A and B are shown apart, each in its own frame.
Chain A
Amino acid sequence: QKEVEQNSGPLSVPEGAIASLNCTYSDRGSQSFFWYRQYSGKSPELIMFIYSNGDKEDGRFTAQLNKASQYVSLLIRDSQPSDSATYLCAVPNFGNEKLTFGTGTRLTIIP
């Protein structure tokens, strides 16, 4: 079992709808979780960071964390074509900053 798992997609969502991206992780000791967005041919950029159970909202983005279920998700409201990208879930190793990434979910917003 991979340490961080994501559905690779592709996930297609109509413009204006809610896109839901999911990630599960295996290390129960994980404390913080990152969502990175990566446009084709570009480097990853951080869009959300969460470390407490529950929801964290930032504009159109909401991260949800459930440590008991070892599950973290990202919701994108009012999806725009510019949201079309690969979304990477990343978990830092406790005591060592290295990030373990999922394979990423490719999201396409359909105009």
Chain B
Amino acid sequence: GAGVSQSPRYKVAKRGQDVALRCDPISGHVSLFWYQQALGQGPEFLTYFQNEAQLDKSGLPSDRFFAERPEGSVSTLKIQRTQQEDSAVYLCASSSGPGSYNEQFFGPGTRLTVL
């Protein structure tokens, strides 16, 4: 594919529902990141994968948040028992490999609204 894709683009959930957000990174990209962006704020780091290994999950706000990348390509971010404070845009980014000089390419994001 030409870039990072995410689905769904928009998700409305009732409080307490579980949601699953999908990210398709750029083909061949080793590194994959999830960020959460609240309105008027910069993106905040959630978690990082290198291939299928989740190397950093320090940004996940609670144990209701879970991410996986079982085959080292597509990733899913799952939020259980959603709360209103989970409402945000969830951005996925990928890069070609480890190293702080590598550009991260962002997907269009999933806008989650919890009612």
Contact = CB atoms under 8 A, between A and B. Distances in A.
Contact of B109 (A32, A43, A98): A43
Chain B binding site: helix, strand, loop or mixed by DSSP? loop
The residue among A90, A100, A101 with the most chain B CB atoms within 10 A of its own CB is A101
Nearest to A98: B45
B41 interface: yes
A57 B9 CA distance: 35
B91 interface: yes
A8 B40 CA distance: 9
A31 B100 CA distance: 8
Interface in B41-69: 41-45, 48, 55-56, 59
Given A44-B106, A98-B59, A93 B91 contact: no
Given A92-B100, A97-B104, A44 B56 contact: no
Interface residues of A, number: 27
B101 A49 contact: yes
Nearest to B46: A98
Interface of B: 31, 33, 35, 40-45, 48, 55-56, 59, 91, 95, 98-109
21 contacts: A8-B40, A32-B100, A43-B91, A43-B106, A44-B106, A46-B105, A49-B103, A88-B43, A90-B42, A95-B100, A97-B33, A97-B48, A97-B98, A97-B99, A97-B104, A98-B33, A98-B56, A99-B104, A102-B42, A103-B41, A104-B41
